[in-house]
Amino acid sequence: MEPGKSRSANLTKAERQLIVELVTKYRDIVENKKTDHVMNAEKEAAWCNVCSEFNAVNGIKRNSKQLRQVNDLCP
């Protein structure tokens, strides 16, 4: 681990379920295979929306990069 970075608390089962529900809401954008400039901007906006909705409900604040990693691990 790099110095100066702290580790976030592990996600609970409810938090994982919330992430899955939020990503499902933006599934068409997040799972789109196109990688052009416009689509990448839409994907980033979708992840920002997922992040803000997750943080509004949850007590622990997480950034979109952390949520993307969790989503990659979910079946």
Q: pTM for the complete prediction?
A: 0.80
- Give, in degrees to the nearest 5, the angle at Cα 51 between 68 and 49: 110
Confidence of residue 7 (pLDDT cuts 50, 70, 90): confident
Q: What is the pLDDT of residue 4?
A: 67
Q: Which burial class, exposed, middle or buried, applies to 25 when counting CB atoms under 10 A from its CB (0-12, 13-18, 19+)?
A: middle
Please indicate whether residue 9 or residue 14 has the higher confidence score (pLDDT): 14
User: What separation in angstroms does the CA of 18 have from each of 14, 30, 50, 61, 74?
Assistant: 6, 16, 10, 14, 12
Please indicate whether residue 17 or residue 72 has the higher confidence score (pLDDT): 17
Confidence of residue 48 (pLDDT cuts 50, 70, 90): very high
Q: Which tokens is 5 given?
A: 């970075």
% of the chain surpassing 90 pLDDT: 51
